[in-house]
Amino acid sequence: MSEKRLLDTIDFPSDFRALSPDKLPQLAEELRAELIDAVSVTGGHLGAGLGVVELTVALHYVFNTPEDIVIWDVGHQAYPHKILTGRKDRIRSIRQPGGLSGFTKRSESEYDPFGAAHSSTSISAALGFAVGRDLAEKKNEVIAVIGDGAMSAGMAYEAMNNAGSLGKRLIVILNDNDMSIAPPVGAMSAYLSRLISSHSYRGLREVAKTVAEKFPQPLARAARKMEHFARGLATGGTLFEEMGFYYIGPIDGHNLDHLIPVLKNVHEEKDSGPVFIHVVTQKGKGYQPAEISADKYHGVTSFNVATGEQKKASAGAPSYTKVFAQSLIKQAEKDQKIVAITAAMPSGTGLDAFAEAYPERFFDVGIAEQHAVTFAAGLACEGFKPFCAIYSTFLQRGYDQVVHDVAIQKLPVRFAMDRAGQVGADGSTHAGSFDIAYLGCLPNFVLMAPSDEVELMHMIATAAEIDDRPSAFRYPRGEGSGAALPKIGTPLEIGKGRVVKEGTQVAILSYGTRLFEALKAAEELEQRGISTTVADARFCKPLDAELVSRLAREHEVLITVEEGSIGGFGSHVGHYLSHQGLLDRGLKFRPLCFADSFIEHNTQAVQNDEAGVNAAQIIEAVVLALGKAAIRAVK
């Protein structure tokens, strides 16, 4: 009979706070094994969670969560945290329909005080919690855990600057898993970190400051040297010190004997202002395949634990992402002015392939979407043709720059918006729901959406030729339709759509990849006696006024369908119809767009059904518009 795991006796952090510290490494080892086993079944984020196993155990051991607030930046590394906070029995439902979210989520647990999925928000949120705590005269701790990648975003430094000026009690833990800041760590560094975090050492440092301020020069110089030594002894924490934080580190994030004393010292020193603890970890720690290839095991499909081999998707059509990257490379072959920009997503946007082909024309600016947009604007001013590839949901973070630095100046920046529409297991935080609306309201833009991967290639070629204003094209996550691809795209006529199927009674005008659902709906309507036209808009802006007018005049019902929120393509069509008086003649106009709600993680097909943009919803809109006689006919 196998010995019962320590982890099996633990449901919440209170269950292991009574353990002696020498039991914690066993708990961490079991927690790591549980994480590997669970993600091997479900897929999801793996490397980041493996890297914070010991830190997760230490935080819940030292601090009184959930009263003490722990905010995980992004939240993709919080799987171990979920296992230890009442969700162990549901961990194999993570990212599955109806299961746990792949990120932290307020509605899921009181141990998730702040939801996340985009990066670099933790310090700002934590400062808000800390100020709220003080206003309410409470005494709990507030801890933000942020990765070195997320520290590349300006928002993190804005928050730290504000925290330092306010001087509020706040703990920020830098999870440095790329060795981007820290030198090697070891026993001496751990000793110094414990010393620096202790009350007695802080007292010594304050004495040194006082001496430097009040005593004669020779003694003052010696005291100042002592104080400077204290600042820099454990590693260049000067930047964080200058921002008003008390710097401690670096600490080996996988050594609980190093972590726990420092966290205890900081926890016990409750009268201090903001503290910055620098912890060095390794992505994928404890699972050799993930240690060897951190990028490959950041996010995974289900995999074989013994070999690390991930389940391969069945062979099918190339993804839209791959088609975008390969098509851009083809365009760049014949146009040396084309450059590619991404914000910390070279593989996610497919631009890692572009980087291999044209390294001198590829720029990964880090998690800095605002900078990416304005950087692209500067390149455009110099006569280059920047393609700024940013997920639809992440471009929201650079919206002011899109308006102020690009649109107002009519600069020809090309925005390639991947993950447009529903995205499956990543859920509402990553869904590309709003770009049609938030870009469609801006003057000077050309907005496009391809119905398939061939059209995507044509739109890339079109964008490359637009040199007098900004342009953007959106495309979904996942595989294309399998259409035969040309060698290179051909520029389209700006603002011109196309009719794909002719009919007489109902017109369906699709914007983007809902075209296939529109054709599916039309086929069923035809079988039931309702003659249906299907058109592919291609452009939201400028709108194909001639096509819209024709569809409105020649049909009883006009349906628009898109993969985006209220305020998008359908609103543009409705605005045009109203001002042209085309609604006055009795046209039944019905715009279909995403339901006015956030759609939870599920398969993309189910999400689109819930959002109301599948063939069944198109048919329903048609029969309701036509009235009772049509409903009887369809039945």
How many CB atoms are closer than 10 A to CB 283?
A: 23
**DSSP 8-state symbol, 601:** S
DSSP strands (E only) in 89-220: 142-147, 170-176
Written as one letter, the residue type at 381 is C
What's the CA gap between 297 and 283, in Å, rounded? 9
- Spatial neighbors of 145 by CB under 8 A, at least 6 apart, are 52, 55, 59, 70, 71, 72, 73, 122, 173, 175
What's the CA gap between 284 and 52, in Å, rounded? 9
**CA distances, 65 to each of 25, 56, 69, 117 (Å):** 20, 11, 6, 21
**DSSP 8-state symbol, 280:** E
- Spatial neighbors of 483 by CB under 8 A, at least 6 apart, are 317, 452, 453, 454
Query: What H or E segment, with its residue span, contains residue 557?
Result: strand 557-562
Written as one letter, the residue type at 559 is I
No. of H helices and E strands in the chain? 25, 19
What's the CA gap between 628 and 205, in Å, rounded? 83
Q: Is 61 helix (H, G, I), strand (E, B) or coil?
A: helix
Q: Is 172 helix (H, G, I), strand (E, B) or coil?
A: strand
The angle at the Cα of 150, spanning 116 to 77, to the nearest 5 degrees, equals 50
Tokens of 178: 């790329």
What's the CA gap between 309 and 477, in Å, rounded? 23
CA 125 to chain centroid, in Å, comes to: 17
The angle at the Cα of 114, spanning 109 to 117, to the nearest 5 degrees, equals 100
Query: What H or E segment, with its residue span, contains residue 329?
Result: helix 320-334
Question: Among 157, 285, 180, 283, which Cα is nearest to 235's?
Answer: 180
Enumerate the active-site residues. Answer: 283, 369, 397
Query: What H or E segment, with its residue span, contains residue 138?
Result: none
What is 11-25 written as a DSSP string?
SSGGGTTTS-GGGHH
What's the CA gap between 164 and 161, in Å, rounded? 5
Written as one letter, the residue type at 15 is D
Q: Is 414 helix (H, G, I), strand (E, B) or coil?
A: strand
Contact 430, 117 (CB under 8 A): yes
